[in-house]
Amino acid sequence: MAYPQAPWKLQGYAFQTVQLVDIDRVRPLVPKELNIISIWPGKTLGGVYLSAYESGSVLEYNELIAIAAVVSYGSKFGGWISHIYVDNSDSIAGGREIWGLPKEPAEFSWDKDCVTVRQNNQLLCSLSYNRQAFGWRQWLAVPTFSTLDSDLLLFRSELESKLGLVSAKLAVPAESPLASLGIGQPWVTVKSEKLRLSVAAPEIVGQR
């Protein structure tokens, strides 16, 4: 199957929610080699990332990422992705083979003020949102851990985007695989417009 080599250059728009997540609940979803960072007694940060990568990207697709925790390994830190869904078979293959990400297929529906994600007619989640309050241009670097075979990997995503806060409501049915995270309503939701994202090749930082 054909997919581009890293780095992947992507552009479009996205939403990122931020929630407090119970550490004991997500511990089984995170490799034991990684330390879960507590930002509040018994809590770490997690959330859901929903994006649409459009024309001008190395691949055009939609994506749903569930971040289960903020973690560390030695002096390095980053996010841990427990679930990830896309609607492009090349993205699935590349994500699994380059970064070791557990990508699965899903169907995405973007409406004026809501995005819905389903897999085989099962609702994974939906995010409804209102108009953003304001926006500013921002550059960010986001480190993320993953695993491939016995290797513990770390890769870096660099993004430049116009960011704005939105009011949003996240719905996760009890039957959804995402329900295992126990995430509630977003503490903060950020919309990224005119997003330009570069996802670098991973480096091996340890062994499982």
**The domain spanning residue 169 has which CATH number?**
2.40.400.10
Interval 161-188 mean pLDDT: 95
pLDDT confidence of residue 134: 73
Mean pLDDT for all residues in the chain = 96
Q: Looking at the domain assignment, is residue 51 inside a domain?
A: yes
pTM of this prediction?
0.96
pLDDT confidence of residue 148: 98
Q: Looking at the domain assignment, is residue 114 inside a domain?
A: yes
Domain limits for position 66: 8-207
In this predicted model, what pLDDT tens digit does every residue of 52-66 receive, in sequence order? 999 999 999 999 999
Q: Looking at the domain assignment, is residue 2 inside a domain?
A: no
Q: Looking at the domain assignment, is residue 59 inside a domain?
A: yes
Q: Residue 142: pLDDT above 70?
A: yes
For the four alpha carbons of 200, 91, 17 and 136, in that order, the dihedral sign comes to: positive
Work out how many domains the chain is built from and give that number: 1
Q: Looking at the domain assignment, is residue 3 inside a domain?
A: no
In angstroms, the CA 105 to CA 179 distance is 18
Q: Looking at the domain assignment, is residue 1 inside a domain?
A: no
In this predicted model, what pLDDT tens digit does every residue of 110-139 receive, in sequence order? 998 999 999 999 999 999 999 776 789 999
Q: Looking at the domain assignment, is residue 77 inside a domain?
A: yes
DSSP designation for 34? S
Q: Looking at the domain assignment, is residue 185 inside a domain?
A: yes
Interval 172-194 mean pLDDT: 95
